[in-house]
Structure 1
Amino acid sequence: MEGDYPDLKSNAQAFIGEVEGRSASNLRRYAPTAVGQAEEALRALGYYSPMIEWRIEEGDSDTTATLVLSITPGEPVRVTSRTVEIRGPAASDERFTADLPEHPAEGDILNHGEYASLRDTIQTRARRRGYFDGKFVTRTLEVDPATRSAAVTLIYESGERYRLGEVTFEEGHWFEIGLLEQFVSFEPGIPFHADEVARLNRDLQNSGYFSSVDIDASPGSAEDGVIPVRVDLTRRDARSVAAGVGFSTDVGPRFRGNWREHWINPMGHKRGAETELSVPRQNLSTWYELPLDPPMTDLIRLSA
């Protein structure tokens, strides 16, 4: 690579890939393909008119030949205009519009990866924040290699934001509905946000009551923009036992045991016992837990 262009060099190497072990004749046939891959790699970073020459350096044997590309990048394409508009209700949603990627900005060397990141960020935010009917009405990257200029235009029409509806728990979970409803941290009718659904899933998983949690909050099941939330729970095994042995210089050999009952009634009570046995010390502790509201953070623990 003529000049100091480490990013261009590494990108070209990544596009071309490994060519080791090929004979000199095979490399000669492959050279036009390698040149095309190098040109594609440079275009991705804004260099549309490189000068590329190739040669074969033959080694001691036919299989040690090397394909060498000499690249002069030329002048880059620069971004001469950037238009990014969010239309519809999302335009007044500060968490949607704030901190969008600054690049590609006017004056930047064109980077197709930055353009894709900006485009994908808008689409991802729309899905996470409940603008499921949103779409780009204009999504263009116009490049003129002759004038070395590029124009970025992204205009997104959000549509109405969906809302979260009632949370229903499918039958078969065994627990009291009142306990499960305490895990729901949002009120029906709030604007959709994927984090609210993820939090409900996480809290139910961390409760220790279930082996699997499946939450369906698909926009395809929405009615009048309200998405019902359906939760399917599989109760875990009631009990688990763990044991281990160890050695330390102060107590010598020791044994540790742990017994836990993850649920003992539909109200979600738990209990367990732990023991440590060694020659100088024998400990046994037991505990009993009662969940409060909210059960993710509040509980009563009785121990002895």
Structure 2
Amino acid sequence: MNLLPQAHAQKLSRNPRLRIAVLLGFSLFAALAPQIAQCEPRARITSNAQGHLLEELVRAVGEVESAPRSAFEARRRGEVAANFANEALRSEGYYAPTIEINIGEEALSAPIVNIDIGQLYKIKDPTIDWGEVPPDPLTAQTAQTAINLDSQSAGRAQDILSAESRALGAVLQNGYADAVTEPRRVIVDHADNSVHPIFKISAGTKIRLGSVNLLSGTKTREDWLLSVVPWEAGANYGPSEITELERRLLETGVYDTISITLGATDIATSQRPVNVRLVDRAKISLEAQLSYATNEGFAIESEASRYNLLGRADSLIGRLTFGGIKKRVETELRLPHFLRPNQTLATSLAIFRDDTLAYREDGASFKGQITRRFWRNSFLTYGANLDLSRTHEPSFIRPTTGVDRDFVALSLVGAFIIDRTDNPLNARNGYKADIRLEPTIISGDANLSYLKLVSQASIYHDFTNDGRSVVAARARIGALLGGSIPDLPSGRRLYAGGGGSVRGYEYQGIGPRYNDPDRTPVGGLSLIETSIEFRQKLTDKIGMVGFIDAGTLGLTSSPDFGEFRSSLGLGIRYDLGFAPLRFDIAMPLNRPQGDSSFQFYIGVGQSF
């Protein structure tokens, strides 16, 4: 069986030196592989430990490359293994094990370490030693409660360290910014098999936050910075407030470095000023992305951004999209923390042309939207869009020549997005969902009003917990309420088919069609799409995907399952580090007459 692709095999046959080098490489690997794989344990464990504890002992003892060459080396390995095992047991709460080393008669095999783990030692009366200057009684009680060690829980080292961290965090959160831990004492009492931890914390003095000072090195206006500070002057220090300010500045995407420090105490106010040092990122950034689909051709999307032009962490973005179907020039201004924190104003002006199978639309669009952030990754968006458009589209009355329509569309926008995935470009676990409502009024050659409703949800599950085997599923529904065909301009209808929809079908290729020579898609008033993918990593960089897509489009606001279409496909993923490079090929299972038997797609990021 030939394991090399045909093109590589031809290249090797034409280059004898290359062929010899490859054969030598395979021979060398075959000779060394058994030696590389040949490892044995430093010592063999016999113990009354079970389950997880036994696994930890084996892991702590470790492996060596070869068997011992003498009795002295075997004894030495047994002593090292015993020390490692003892440390592992102490970390799990076993402080009085009995460990014996047996090197056997020949001493040329791994020593045997016999371990009796003994009694499990339990936590007893964890306390805090505050030194000479304790904090206020409320803070002391809060820190003691934060320890949260059950008096009957195992005396594990990691649990003790975590308890110390919780206690210190409680002190810091209560305004003691200079609080630090000092070396703790852990008393192991063999009489009653207990572990008595004594944490030593130097609290210092309670701090109140003073004025916020913006240090030089940025174009940012100080009045804007003060508007995003989450505390009032005189408030007690808390690390969560400092962290929140850092997060608010970081999410603007405008700064390379953010440093927030406390200054010296102001004697007059007994407050400590907060010094903020910001280093702006490069003023201008350029980005570009190339994609390809069989019947859509190549498309390039480029973006140029100018940062902090107005001194309020703003972004002025210019976008250019050029492809066989969509062409667009757009300018957008983004103002983060607009009027209130965690709220962004985005205004944009665009000139566009969409030249699809179903219609051609030229126009200009103005958008003004506010996005408010809730929790970590949940967003509410509301605003308005104004579009001035001219469409050329087929007509049931004039199917061969089509009609032109000029109109103005005013839409109100309301959308909610929730994202609980672990990676927006390559999710492995979690879910995300969104819903979008657009009530619209159209005036001109078309006069009507309608409500557009579109919602989508995706879910991801990693079966191996290491990202190697992931199942992803997606569902999308849409409906237009109040509109009708042919009154609704073609560019305002719903469509299905193509990349990002039902792969394998032509762009907009699912659903009813006009009876014209090109069999132009009509579009619809209702939409259902589903997808399921199995993503399997083959190496650290390369993976494969198998998927099934399906969807239907209806001429009314209710789904029409008579137009139900499905497809099968395979894909390759190459990990670029920030996102996967995607190669997909899909085949329609019930393709419309005259359409291609497959579609090929290239892009960055997973398909959903």
TM-score under structure 1 length normalisation: 0.80
1:151 & 1:268 partners in 2: Cα distance?
Answer: 52
Structure 1 residue 207: Cα displacement: 2.1
1:40 & 1:266 partners in 2: Cα distance?
Answer: 56
Amino acid aligned to 1:30: R
Query: What residue is the counterpart of 2:119 in the other structure?
Result: 75
- Number of residue pairs the alignment of both structures matches: 297
Structure 1 residue 82: Cα displacement: 1.2
Query: What residue is the counterpart of 2:98 in the other structure?
Result: 51
Q: State whether residues 138 and 153 of structure 1, in contact with CA within 8 Å, keep that contact through their aligned partners in structure 2.
A: no
Structure 1 range deviating more: 244-253 or 148-157: 148-157
What does 1:211-230 correspond to in 2, within 5 Å? Answer: 211-217=256-262, 221-223=264-266, 226-230=271-275
Do the aligned partners of residues 274 and 31 (structure 1) sit closer, same or farther apart at CA in structure 2, a change above 3 Å counting? Answer: same
Structure 1 range deviating more: 166-175 or 132-141: 132-141
Identity of aligned residues (%): 22
Q: Which is higher, the Rg of structure 1 or of structure 2?
A: 2
- Tell me, yes or no, if structure 1 residue 299 matches structure 2 residue 342: no
Return the match for 2:255 from 210, 213, 225. Answer: 210
1:278 & 1:135 partners in 2: Cα distance?
Answer: 59
Query: What SS class does the counterpart of residue 120 from structure 2 fall into?
Result: coil
Amino acid aligned to 1:3: N
1:269 & 1:237 partners in 2: Cα distance?
Answer: 13
Query: What residue is the counterpart of 1:84 in the other structure?
Result: 127
Amino acid aligned to 1:107: Q
Structure 1 residue 137: Cα displacement: 10
Query: What SS class does the counterpart of residue 80 from structure 2 fall into?
Result: helix
Query: What residue is the counterpart of 2:159 in the other structure?
Result: 114
- Tell me, yes or no, if structure 1 residue 274 matches structure 2 residue 319: yes
Q: State whether residues 24 and 66 of structure 1, in contact with CA within 8 Å, keep that contact through their aligned partners in structure 2.
A: no
Query: What residue is the counterpart of 1:199 in the other structure?
Result: 244
Structure 1 residue 290: Cα displacement: 4.7
Structure 1 residue 170: Cα displacement: 1.2
Structure 1 residue 132: Cα displacement: 4.2
Amino acid aligned to 1:251: E
TM-score under structure 2 length normalisation: 0.43
Do the aligned partners of residues 69 and 237 (structure 1) sit closer, same or farther apart at CA in structure 2, a change above 3 Å counting? Answer: same
Q: State whether residues 51 and 73 of structure 1, in contact with CA within 8 Å, keep that contact through their aligned partners in structure 2.
A: yes
2:349 & 2:144 partners in 1: Cα distance?
Answer: 49
- Tell me, yes or no, if structure 1 residue 32 matches structure 2 residue 79: yes
In structure 2, runs of 5+ residues without a counterpart are: 1-45, 351-608
Per-residue deviation, residues 24-74 of structure 1 (Å, max 9, x unmatched): 421223323332333333233333332222223689x95xx2122111222
Per-residue deviation, residues 213-251 of structure 1 (Å, max 9, x unmatched): 222226xx3346532111122222222221222112342
Query: What SS class does the counterpart of residue 181 from structure 1 fall into?
Result: helix
Structure 1 range deviating more: 30-39 or 233-242: 30-39
Query: What SS class does the counterpart of residue 43 from structure 1 fall into?
Result: helix
Do the aligned partners of residues 174 and 114 (structure 1) sit closer, same or farther apart at CA in structure 2, a change above 3 Å counting? Answer: closer
1:246 & 1:135 partners in 2: Cα distance?
Answer: 53
Structure 1 residue 197: Cα displacement: 1.4
1:135 & 1:280 partners in 2: Cα distance?
Answer: 62
Per-residue deviation, residues 123-172 of structure 1 (Å, max 9, x unmatched): 23323543245577995432222443443445767454212221101124
Structure 1 residue 77: Cα displacement: 3.0
Do the aligned partners of residues 183 and 247 (structure 1) sit closer, same or farther apart at CA in structure 2, a change above 3 Å counting? Answer: same
Q: State whether residues 209 and 274 of structure 2, in contact with CA within 8 Å, keep that contact through their aligned partners in structure 1.
A: yes
What does 1:67-216 correspond to in 2, within 5 Å? Answer: 67-79=111-123, 81-84=124-127, 89=135, 91-93=137-139, 96-97=142-143, 100-103=146-149, 105-132=150-177, 134=179, 140-154=185-199, 158=203, 160-216=205-261
Per-residue deviation, residues 267-304 of structure 1 (Å, max 9, x unmatched): 55542222221223322222234563236414252433
Q: State whether residues 58 and 66 of structure 1, in contact with CA within 8 Å, keep that contact through their aligned partners in structure 2.
A: no
Larger RCO: 1 or 2 (CA < 8 Å, sep 6+): 1
Q: State whether residues 125 and 196 of structure 2, in contact with CA within 8 Å, keep that contact through their aligned partners in structure 1.
A: yes
In structure 1, runs of 5+ residues without a counterpart are: none
Do the aligned partners of residues 72 and 265 (structure 1) sit closer, same or farther apart at CA in structure 2, a change above 3 Å counting? Answer: closer
Question: What's the C-alpha RMSD, in Å, of the aligned pairs?
Answer: 3.5
Amino acid aligned to 1:77: Y
Amino acid aligned to 1:303: L
Query: What residue is the counterpart of 2:301 in the other structure?
Result: 256
Q: State whether residues 77 and 109 of structure 1, in contact with CA within 8 Å, keep that contact through their aligned partners in structure 2.
A: yes
Do the aligned partners of residues 276 and 40 (structure 1) sit closer, same or farther apart at CA in structure 2, a change above 3 Å counting? Answer: closer
Structure 1 residue 190: Cα displacement: 0.9
Amino acid aligned to 2:265: A
Return the match for 1:16 from 61, 66, 70. Answer: 61
Query: What SS class does the counterpart of residue 188 from structure 2 fall into?
Result: strand
2:126 & 2:139 partners in 1: Cα distance?
Answer: 19
Query: What residue is the counterpart of 2:385 in the other structure?
Result: none
Amino acid aligned to 2:258: V
Q: State whether residues 308 and 314 of structure 2, in contact with CA within 8 Å, keep that contact through their aligned partners in structure 1.
A: yes
Do the aligned partners of residues 18 and 301 (structure 1) sit closer, same or farther apart at CA in structure 2, a change above 3 Å counting? Answer: same
Do the aligned partners of residues 188 and 54 (structure 1) sit closer, same or farther apart at CA in structure 2, a change above 3 Å counting? Answer: same
2:118 & 2:314 partners in 1: Cα distance?
Answer: 71
Q: State whether residues 86 and 158 of structure 1, in contact with CA within 8 Å, keep that contact through their aligned partners in structure 2.
A: no
1 or 2, which has the higher helix percentage? 1
Query: What residue is the counterpart of 1:288 in the other structure?
Result: 333
Per-residue deviation, residues 95-145 of structure 1 (Å, max 9, x unmatched): 944862433x33334323322322232123323543245577995432222
Amino acid aligned to 2:110: T
